[in-house]
Structure 1
Amino acid sequence: MTQDTRPLIQPDLRRARGAGRNMTGRFEALERVEPGTGWEGDGWDIPEPQKGWRTEVAVERPRSAITRNASPDVPFDRSLNPYRGCEHGCIYCFARPSHSYLGLSPGLDFETRLVARPDIWRVLERELRRPSYRVAPLAIGTSTDPYQPIEARFKAMRKVLEVLRDFHHPVGIVTKGTMVARDLDILAPMAAAGLAHVGVTVTTLDADLSRRMEPRVPLPARRLALIRQLAGAGVPVRVMVSPVVPGLTDHEIEPILDAAKQAGARAASWIMLRLPHEVAPLMTDWLWEHAPGRAEKVLRRLREMHGGKGYDARFGHRMRGEGVHARMIARRFEVATRRLGLDGGLPPLDCGQFRVPLGTQDQPSLF
C-alpha cells in the first residue's frame, strides 16, 4: 500500500467525488492519462483545459438478473444489482474493482460512468417463472447501492420490488440511500408478511468525515432518521457498521450502535475495511489527502490485520482480519450489541409464501 507519487486530479475538478484519480483498470493493456495543453514547462501561463466529472449513464439490457455465489462469508446465495457503478462515491467501496470488467476505471469512472438496467425486472420475472427455480432470499445492494441518486430517474429498484411483491418472494436490501422510504408502500406490507428486511449502513456519525469519505451519501443524521422511519412502518432494520476503518472510525462503534438502537434498529453487523485490487491505492490517496495525521496509523493497522499485507482475500478472514486489534474491535462490537439487544439478528424471511402469479406486469390476469 505505497502511495502513488503522481499528482491527483485537481480538487475543483472532482468536487463531491470520492476518488482522487482515474487510474486504468487492471485488465487494460494501455494506460490512460489526462492530456495536457502541450505548453507545460515552456514558461507560458496557459491554464489547463477545465473538465468536470459529470455523471453519465448508459443503459444495459441484461441477459440475466440473478447472480449466484457460493461464498461462506455471506448468508445468501443469490443477489441482484439494478446498477453498475455507484454515484455515492464511497472511497472505500469494495465493488470499485468490478468496473474494470467494463474496461472502465475503478476510480472516478466508477462514480461518474454508471450503467442502469431499467428492464432488469422483466428478466427477473422470467427467471422466477422458470419451473426449475427454487426460492431463497434475494439480496439487493450487496455490491452497488440500488437507491443511489439515479434511481429517482430510472426506478429500476421499484420495478424489481413490484415483481418480488407479486411473487411473494423474500428480499433483503442493503442501502445508504434514504430513497428506500419512497417504496414503503411495497416494503411495509412485505415486511408484515415476513418477506422483507432492510440494512442501513452507517460508517461514521461525523458529518464532515462522512461528506469527504462518502460524498454523495445522505448524511449520518438522515440515515438514522431513515432507520426510525422504516422501523416505524414495521420494517425490520439492521444497522451495518461498515466498513470499520481502524485508526479512523473504530472509536465510533459504540456511539453508532447506541444511536441506531434509539432509532429503532433491531440487529447490527460490522465489516472491517477491505482493500481489494484498485481500492488500496485509492484509499491510500484519500487518507494522505484528507486525513494525513491518521494515514500511517490506518495503513499500519491494516497490515497488522492481514499478515503484513494490505489485504488478504481468504474466506473467513477478509471481512474481519486477525490479530490483537481485530479481536479487540470484534469484542467491543459483541459487548455493545449484547448490551443493546442488537445481537439476536432479524427474524428469518419466509420462503414458504412464494407463488407464480397468473398474469405479468405487462399483461395482468383477469382473475
Structure 2
Amino acid sequence: MSVKPAPSSAPSSAPFAGPFALATLSASDGPAFPALVTHEERVVDLRDALGDERLTVRRLLEDWPAVLPRLRSLAGNSAVERLPLAEFQVHAPVEPRQVFQSGANYRQHVIDLHVAHKAPGDDRPEDERRAEAAEIMDRRAAEDLPYVFIGLPSAITGPYDDVVLPAWAEKPDWELELAAVIGRPTHKVSVDEALEHVAGYTIANDLTDRATVFRRDMPQIGTDWLRSKNAPGFTPLGPWVVPAESIADPDDLRLVLKLNGETMQDESTKDMIFNVARMVSYASQTAQLLPGDLVLTGSPAGNGMHWGRLLRDGDVMDAAITGLGAQRTPCVAEAAS
C-alpha cells in the first residue's frame, strides 16, 4: 500500500454516511494504523482505543460482529482522544487478500463497450451492434450469470495518490465502481443472505488499458485482465470503509467521476444488471470470500472509450459515490525506458 501523503488539493472534508467510517492512516514518521474517522474530521487511533498495537482494518473485519458495537461506542464517546485528520496521510482503507472484479454489469456501459470494442472485420452498423449487446445482457440477466474475474491487491493505491500510467499502456481508461467489503468468511451464500456478509462499502476506480483487454495475437484466448487491469496503482481505493449499516440501499447510490473538472460518469447503481447481493452470492458459489476482500460491482457508462478521450499525463480524476466520500487522483506518465 502506498505511503504517499495526500496532496494539498485533496478533498479536505470527510463526507460519508453514518456517524463514523474506518480508514488507514499514517503520520509522516510512523507506520500505517487503523483509525475511526468522524464528521468533524477527527481521528481515533484504534490501536490505542482497542489495546492492540498490531491492529489493522483487515483484522477488525475478521472480528466484525464483535468489533462493530465497540466502534459505535467509541464514535459516541467524546472523552476518547481525537486528533485532527489533516495531520495524517490517507491510504487505501483496507488490504484485501482477494479482489473480485465485475465486468459488463451496467446496461448502458456494456452497450458502449460493445460498440467501441468491435472485432476486426466487423463492419455492421452501430445500431445493429447495440441491439446485439442488449440481447446478450437480457440473456445474462435471465440466466443469472454475472461476469466475475480476479484482480491483484498489488494494483491498489490510496485515494489521493498519483496514478502512474505505464509507458506501454496505449489507452488507459477510468472505471468508477462501488466496492463491497466482506466482513465474514463467505462461501456458497444465498442472494437473500449475501448482504449480511458485507461489512461496508468503499470507492474503487478500476483502471483499464483498453488496448490490452483482448489478446489480438490469439483471439481464442479472449480477455487479458492481468495485462489490462493490474499495473501498480491501477485501483485507487477509498478513502473510507463506511459500515454497511450506514448505507440505506447500496443499489441506489450515485456515482460521479470528473476528469479535470468535467463530468464523465454520472449514474446510479440502479442501472446495475446484477445488484450487490447477487454479485457477492455469485462470487461465493466458487470461491471462499474472506474478511477484507473486495467485490467490485462494475462501472457505469461514461468511460474514456465512450468519450474518445483516454487518460494522459497531467489529468486529475475526482470520483465520488453517495455516502462514501470522494477521492482525487492525479495521473503521471511513466518515463519510457
Q: Do the two structures share a fold, i.e. TM-score over 0.5?
A: no
From the two aligned structures, give the one with the greater helix fraction. 1
From the two aligned structures, give the one with the greater strand fraction. 2
- Report the TM-score when normalising by structure 2: 0.23
For the pair shown, which has the larger CA radius of gyration, 1 or 2?
A: 1
Q: Using CA pairs below 8 Å that are at least 6 residues apart, which structure has the higher relative contact order?
A: 2
